């Protein structure tokens, strides 16, 4: 299972070194905390785990009379880990995920692989939508209306995510991934 918190931490640190509380503030300001559950404890645990794995380095800074603050920065291993996590999230074959934006937010780190990851996810979504259509057709005379409505809703969610990802692929094709902060 891909850690969304680790992905967000690594993605933000790929933009530059930060304190833990700055990471939390930026996750809130950018709306990332709507995409997946993330607490202060989860962020600090992710920082400790990622540092122990060699993905981050840290040091303390002291400014005037303020308490010491730990600053985190990404290592080259951390950049590689970020790419792996983002690719996994973007190419995922997990059904109906509302946390896809966690990967999309940092997709620029994938470079040329970004489009491939998204196309893999789109192919999966379209297979799922077709499967649901076949199920609805088979169950049309057997299942009750509410169950068929649930299948139709699920199918529309797959199609909606597929359309959204196709727009992102088109943007990548039109604009490329230039201007990337990652």
Q: In this predicted model, what pLDDT tens digit does every residue of 70-103 receive, in sequence order? A: 999 999 999 999 999 999 988 888 877 777 888 8
CB 155 within 8 A of CB 136: yes
Output the six-digit token pair for 154. 């699920």
Output the six-digit token pair for 94. 């997990």
CA dist 45 and 162 (Å) reads 33
In this prediction, residue 19 has a pLDDT band, given cuts at 50, 70 and 90, of very high
Domains of the chain: 4-175 (1.10.10.10)
Confidence (pTM): 0.78
pLDDT of residue 1 exceeding 50, the answer is: yes
Burial 131-167 (b: 16+ CB within 10 A, else e): ebeebbeeeeeeeeeeebeebeebbebbbebbeebee
- Mean pLDDT (the chain) is 89
Coil, strand or helix at 126 = helix
CA dist 97 and 117 (Å) reads 15
pLDDT above 90: percentage of residues in the chain: 57
CB 7 within 8 A of CB 102: yes
Coil, strand or helix at 70 = strand
96 class by beta-carbon count within 10 Å (0-12 exposed, 13-18 middle, 19+ buried): exposed
Q: Cα torsion at 97, 170, 85, 124 (round to 10°)? A: 50
């Amino acid at each position: 299972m891909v850690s969304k918190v680790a992905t967000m931490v690594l993605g933000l640190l790929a933009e530059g070194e930060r304190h833990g509380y700055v990471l939390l503030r930026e996750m809130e300001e950018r709306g990332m905390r709507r995409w997946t559950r993330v607490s202060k404890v989860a962020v600090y645990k992710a920082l400790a785990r990622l540092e122990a794995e060699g993905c981050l380095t840290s040091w303390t800074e002291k400014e005037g009379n303020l308490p010491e603050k730990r600053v985190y920065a990404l290592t080259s291993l951390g950049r590689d880990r970020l790419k792996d996590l983002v690719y996994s999230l973007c190419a995922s074959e997990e059904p109906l995920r509302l946390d896809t934006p966690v990967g999309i937010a940092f997709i620029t780190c994938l470079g040329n692989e970004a489009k491939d990851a998204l196309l893999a996810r789109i192919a999966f979504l379209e297979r799922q939508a077709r499967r649901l259509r076949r199920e609805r057709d088979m169950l049309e005379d057997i299942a009750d209306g509410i169950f068929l409505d649930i299948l139709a809703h699920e199918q529309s969610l797959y199609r909606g995510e597929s359309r959204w990802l196709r727009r992102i692929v088109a943007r990548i094709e039109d604009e490329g991934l230039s201007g990337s902060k990652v």
